[in-house]
Amino acid sequence: MSLFSRRLPALVRLVPALAMAAGLVSLAGQAAAQPAKPLTKVRYEEVIRSVLYVPMYVALNQGYFKDAGLDVGMKTSQGTDKGMAALLSGSADIVLIGPEASIYVANSESPAKPKIFAGLTATDGFLLMGRKPVSSAFDWNQLKGKSVMAFRPGSNPDVFLEAALRKHGLDPKKDLKLVNNIGPAARTGAWMAGQNDYAIFLEPEAGNLEKDGNGHVMASIGSEVGPVDYTVFTTTDVFMQKNPEVLQAWTRAVARAQQHVQTAPAADLAKQVAEFFPGMSQPELVKAIERYRGYKLWKTTPLVEKAAIEQLQDMLTASGVLDSGKRVKYEQVVVTDFAAKAK
């Protein structure tokens, strides 16, 4: 018997194995050749650019939204009113704005109704600033008879400031003058021009003014008011009905960023968000992040609690911008399904 004849049975037995291996290679090649599922484009607007929104910038920089299948295009609205206008007009799919706007629109005749589906900040990030440093704890009575640069009446910055004033026994309407007619983009310039005795600023403006000796932080408004959701992710009822999977993916990406921000060193976070603050140095970013972290301004989960919306409506009523008879039910403006499923 020839050598070939003796090896033939062994070769025959190898054929199925070789065929299977070839099939696996072919399948792997086909899988590799298949195009990746295209990302879903989402038009997003943030209310303003601020270090207060670090978790969102981390999610963008670290690819959390892309991992969730989303391609996020971002614009800055320069105001909650403008952000809500973009949402209701259909030029934005998701906006980061104050929850007070959803309460106002819920009471309006707008056919489109906003729905809050996730929260980002636990309370107000504005810092009360004065022109001279104080050597001891700030005495809020120093504001009596002074002018304070605030924001548009009825906006969250204005409402939270008034709540802090009332906490310290001051009547926002009688004991001082709140200046509400300066737009977001003009506020720093107005302060530098000598307008007003005090003002509220977010980071990075507060840190920049402090660094240049043009202002000094007196107090944190959010620390005075306590935990009340300040900025939330909002969409319309129509977008929510048509795209629940997009909102779930979004909320998961936000929750992932919120967890990361809780434990990551400030220096790492500063590097991750640096592209969003080209005018700030790394040490300046680190300082701003550490300041906000110390005030516990960032939520640890995206869930917007009922107690927060109730307290906000108390504040809106006290400020005279919401009639007590027009309070809205929590379920009317907040949908918790997405936050509850975000892990």
Q: Which of 107, 102, 5 is nearest to 47 (CA)?
A: 102
Residues in the chain: 343
Separation of alpha carbons 82 and 101, rounded Å = 10
Could you check whether the bond before residue 204 is cis, i.e. omega within 30 degrees of 0?
Answer: yes
Q: Average pLDDT of each block of 10 consecutive residues along the chain (343 residues)?
A: 40 41 44 70 97 98 98 95 96 97 95 97 97 91 98 94 98 97 93 98 94 95 97 98 98 98 97 96 96 96 98 98 96 98 88
Summarize pLDDT for 117-163 with one digit per residue, the tens.
999 999 999 999 999 998 888 999 999 999 999 999 999 999 999 99
β-strand partners of 45:
75, 95
Q: What is the pLDDT of residue 34?
A: 54
CB 147 within 8 A of CB 262: no
Summarize pLDDT for 163-175 with one digit per residue, the tens.
999 999 999 999 9
Provide the 8-state DSSP code for 193.
T
Q: What is the pLDDT of residue 14?
A: 39
Q: What is the pLDDT of residue 88?
A: 97
